[in-house]
Amino acid sequence: MPSQKFNVGLVQMSTTSDPDQNLQHAIDKVHQASARGAHIVCLPELFQTQYFCQRQDANLFDLAQPIPSPVTNRLATLAKQLRIVLIASLFEKRAPGVYHNTAVIFDADGSLRGLYRKMHIPDDPLYYEKYYFTPGDLGYRAFDTAVGRVGTLVCWDQWYPEGARLTALQGAQILFYPTAIGWHPSEKAAFGESQHDAWRTIQRAHAIANGVYVGVVNRVGHETGDIRGNAVVGDGLEFWGASFLCDPFGRVIAEASHDKEEVVIGEVDLRVVEDVRRNWPFLRDRRIDSYGAITNRLSD
């Protein structure tokens, strides 16, 4: 039976134009997290490359890999070697012309516990993800692991309370959000503080509304989408880091800086989930008979 307490490791990292170098860098960071006592470790969204969605380039589909692949084999071996649960976000090649932004969950014995394919796909300036990613078709999922029942969503999913709720209703005790989010440098002075505050607030709200822990892991550094020497023309994106873990009361347990690589470690105590849900029984008091209209785009 899993322990009531375990440590979470969030790997906030920067990337280069070399996917192999980024993979090794991530592996080194996971070793650091394990050495500091982490029982479950999460990597940022699409950690193996710079954020390539800053432009539309058909050649970049070559970055995608099937699951399983040599990369997932290395990650599975890493999880087994360190006896940790490992969450990694990958560019999945499912079939010719069908690609997903996919989180993989490896258990502490190295087995592939499951996949989550990103459901909400953005299309904004320098975030041209609809060009690359087919929306997920596996639904919202929670997985039993060596540390407990874990749910994983990905980046843009973090703005949608429905995804957090449906994952929590499957028994997830902690939600992870591998992320790649940053400022447009020209907008940072005017909007940067409020953008980050909204992002932090919405995810703390998921923790409170569902009585779960939430772990968010972002990349850090300025990127122009330099993949294998091909750079985007323009200012690029400044990824704002600030990875954090919060408890079911929304209290931030551990948090990283905006501009440095860090391995964030925080403790999860599943007894807190029970205690908070007893005192704030939001799940008990849901009026499920009144929510039918939630599946409408608008209620005109």
Q: How far apart are CA 177 and CA 121, in angstroms?
A: 14
Residue 27: count other Cβ atoms within 10 Å of its Cβ: 17
Considering 42, 45, 129, 262, which one is annotated as catalytic?
45
In the residue annotation, 118 being an active-site residue is answered as yes
In the residue annotation, 267 being an active-site residue is answered as no
Beta bridge pairs of residue 216: 177, 244
Element (H, E) at 194: helix 188-210
Considering 29, 42, 93, 155, which one is annotated as catalytic?
155
3-state secondary structure of 134: coil
Q: How far apart are CA 239 and CA 257, in angstroms?
A: 11
Q: What is the CA radius of gyration of the chain?
A: 18
Element (H, E) at 49: none
Name the nearest CA neighbour of 208 among 156, 271, 272, 268.
272
Query: In the chain, how many H helices and how many E strands?
Result: 6, 17
Sign of CA dihedral 55, 25, 7, 92: positive
Q: How far apart are CA 45 and CA 39, in angstroms?
A: 20
Considering 29, 53, 118, 262, which one is annotated as catalytic?
118
- 133, 118 in Cβ contact below 8 A? yes
In the residue annotation, 155 being an active-site residue is answered as yes
Beta bridge pairs of residue 220: 240
Name the nearest CA neighbour of 229 among 24, 60, 45, 91.
60
Catalytic residues: 45, 118, 155
